[in-house]
Chain A
Amino acid sequence: EPEVTQTPSHQVTQMGQEVILRCVPISNHLYFYWYRQILGQKVEFLVSFYNNEISEKSEIFDDQFSVERPDGSNFTLKIRSTKLEDSAMYFCASGYSSYNEQFFGPGTRLTVL
């Protein structure tokens, strides 16, 4: 069964460094999302991406964040200058259409020191 994959599973970085989190969505999906979950807290929406552009973003998704679909398979989230409060589990999700279920990857645990 096709699944969303994410790499790395765990990323440790120093404050101020750039990180790129990678995702390979399910191949025939058209909608792509990033969410994050700070330890012990709710899952929070970051951004959605459709037709090679951002369709929605939350207040969390400020100028330090960017997303890209550099080729036909990868979907990346870049954080330009990480802060301590960026430490969280980051989930990528994809879906075939806008109002259907979203399929989640296993997550990347980002630790900013």
Chain B
Amino acid sequence: SQQGEEDPQALSIQEGENATMNCSYKTSINNLQWYRQNSGRGLVHLILIRSNEREKHSGRLRVTLDTSKKSSSLLITASRAADTASYFCATVLDSNYQLIWGAGTKLIIKP
């Protein structure tokens, strides 16, 4: 079964608008992490939120975690063309250290 699932699969918005991506997971986690991947490139860590945290901010990024609903959201405010990328959530369980990945949301920011 799949642990992390993002929605939407693809999102296209105008520059300056806010972008919200969601992630759902199935089993209890130690933490949840969001990563960005530019086309064909490496994975860049954005933010980590632990199971006892509800919200975290980093610059224009805001992540929320609802453990009762087993879901997280990533909000990018005032989007820029450079934010165009795929965004992945990945969970770490209490029982091991590996990242379990969702399929990602492809975000396109139109100038």
Contact = CB atoms under 8 A, between A and B. Distances in A.
A48 B100 CA distance: 13
Contacts of B31: 99
Contacts of B102: 42
Interface string A28-68: 00010101000001111100100000011010000000000
Interface stretch (A13-21, A70-78, A80-88, A104-112): A104-112
B44 interface: yes
B97 A98 contact: yes
Contacts, number: 56
Given A100-B48, A101-B33, A43 B101 contact: yes
Contact of B42 (A41, A91, A98): A91
A67 to B, nearest CB: 14
A33 B98 contact: yes
Interface of A: 31, 33, 35, 41-45, 48, 55-56, 58, 91, 93, 95, 98-107
A69 to B, nearest CB: 16
A42 to B, nearest CB: 5
A101 B45 contact: yes
A55 B97 contact: yes
B109 interface: no
A45 B102 CA distance: 12
Given A55-B97, A99-B31, A101-B48, 17 more contacts: A33-B99, A41-B103, A42-B102, A42-B103, A43-B43, A43-B90, A43-B99, A48-B97, A58-B98, A91-B43, A98-B97, A99-B50, A101-B33, A102-B33, A102-B99, A104-B45, A107-B42
